[in-house]
Chain A
Amino acid sequence: MASNSQSASDARVPSASSTSFTSSSPGSLPLLTGLWAVFAKEVRTELRTRELLVTTAVFALTIVFMFSFSFDPTSEESRRIGPGLLWIAFLFAGTLMLEPAFLREQSNDTLAALRLAPIAPTAILLGKMLANFLFLSITEALLVPVFAVFYNVSVASVLPGIILVCLLGTLGIVIPGTIFSAVTAHARMRELLLPLLLLPIFTPILIAATEATAALLSDPPEWPAMALRLLAGADIIFLTAAVFLFDSLLEE
């Protein structure tokens, strides 16, 4: 038992020092300024190469294309199976895209610099989340019209609803995704581990988003009030947990 308490105190020492270091001191920037700085940095980095966006978009497109072989893509069938297909594509694309969010900080150890900057850890998390949200939303904006054309469903008349479902669903993907991309950055087999961790967590999002999209695409369209409420609720719950947990993830 003596050795246990020994290791416990060992574990506490570095974390205590880093908490005092990263917690908002009088000189630190306001949360929104820090958040914006991290977000702008992410977007700038991505715009230099655009590799993440292009790869994810092509990957998602490939999934949507491959799905056409798994069922008869007539209008009737598409309305039935399409929403689930679309959201599976988004989930896979999202998991793939979230992988490098923290990984690309590793090569030059730039996360250390981020942590040294006078911004709260929450600002780093929210900035990264916002950037991931933007990237995934762009992919979805590209994918939805392609899906509508390929699978013969009309989205134009219910576009505001589809956009709302996409925004809420994307938030639900990005919030846990950013958290777990931060933690798995050091794991072995992280390329496999991240989807393994994330996909079950996404289940409520997948169910609700699929239900909502199916209701909107049905003939005549229905307003999916319940599914939207569940999505919004899940987003809020995930975000609250993320904000509370992230401080402990960044300290070492």
Chain B
Amino acid sequence: MSPNRILWLVVKLIAALWMAAAGYAIFFVAPDESTMHAIQRIFYIHVSSAWTAGVAFFLVAVGGVLYLIKRDPRYDWAGLSAAETGFVFTTVVLVTGPIWAKPIWGIWWTWDPRLTSTFVLWLMYAAYLLLGTLVDDKQRRSVLRSVYGIFAFINVPLVFMTIRWWRGQHPSPVIAGAQPGSGLDPTMKAVLFLTWGATLCLFAVLMRSRYRLEVIRGETEELRQLAEDSAVAPASNRPFVSAVTPTGFAGRG
């Protein structure tokens, strides 16, 4: 086994142990919330998934910027991996939210700005993932994805502003921008950060395996291209292939 593989095996092991610890802390260490009781405990998963998704989408934007500067497909692959993993965590946020909301608010969903904007985030990254499947040209696909990843990320702060300006039903922030008088119990805060650490660890493991898949895909695509090129020698004798190959953006690609 290569040192790299051993390292990742250790990371995986840490992730598993950390998640087990977080699970224990959520149910046995965190104090009972005075009005919401047990259902409040979903908060730790909900919030830490949301934060992790935020980190993931930040990495998508960083990957996009780096790809546009360096033109190395590996940055695009990293961005794609982060987007897909972040998309999963956003799904977790959108599923755990209504589970909490039904007993507390009495409804599964409300069109509150923050819920709406999380849903918009989910839609944007769904579009991001779809977009890669609809563009055939390798390089163009990477550029398009990078640009969209950056644009989608720009929308994130606007999402955050909406809760402050058109305030809805969503619970007020308890960590950043909390009002005096409200706030989080120190033990609860500790459990929240412990869970977030576990979620981040899981995210790293998922993103890494997704990235490796993309590397293998990239290599396969290249090898297939190579095989195709060597099987049919002169390109001019391939009217069909040249007909389906998209002409360059400016006709000289």
Contact = CB atoms under 8 A, between A and B. Distances in A.
Interface of A: 3-4, 6-8, 11-12, 14-15, 109, 111-112, 115, 176, 179-180, 183-190, 193, 196-197, 200-201, 203-204, 207, 211, 226, 230, 234, 237-238, 241, 245, 248-250, 252
B151 to A, nearest CB: 6
A8 B124 contact: no
B143 A237 contact: no
Nearest to A206: B120
B67 to A, nearest CB: 9
Contacts of A180: 148, 151
Contact of A201 (B155, B161, B249): B155
B144 A184 contact: yes
Contacts of A14: 253
B71 A12 contact: yes
A200 B124 contact: yes
B251 A112 contact: yes
In the complex, the 4 A-B pairs of residues with the closest C-beta atoms, listed nearest first = A112-B250, A204-B158, A252-B253, A109-B251
Interface string B155-183: 10011011001100000000000000000
Interface string B129-162: 0110011111110011011101110110011011
A238 B136 contact: no
Interface residues of B, number: 51
A248 B252 CA distance: 16
A188 B21 CA distance: 47
B144 A187 contact: yes
Contacts of A226: 165
B162 A207 contact: yes
Contacts of B155: 200-201, 203-204
A249 B147 contact: yes
DSSP class of A's interface residues: helix, strand, loop or mixed?
helix
Contacts of B74: 4, 8
Nearest to A102: B249
B250 A3 contact: no
B37 to A, nearest CB: 35
Contacts of B146: 248
Given A200-B127, A207-B166, A241 B151 contact: yes
A248 B147 contact: yes
A212 to B, nearest CB: 12
Contact of B158 (A12, A190, A197, A234): A234
Contacts of B103: none
Contacts of B223: 3
B249 A252 contact: yes
Contacts of B252: 112, 252
Interface in B94-147: 113, 116-117, 120, 123-124, 127, 130-131, 134-140, 143-144, 146-147
A8 B69 CA distance: 12
Contacts of B247: 109
Contact of A7 (B140, B165, B218): B218
Interface string B214-251: 01001100110000000000000000000000111111
A237 B154 contact: yes
A203 B152 CA distance: 11
B76 to A, nearest CB: 10
Contacts of A109: 247, 250-251
B185 interface: no
B166 A176 contact: no
Contact of B250 (A12, A115, A197, A234): A115
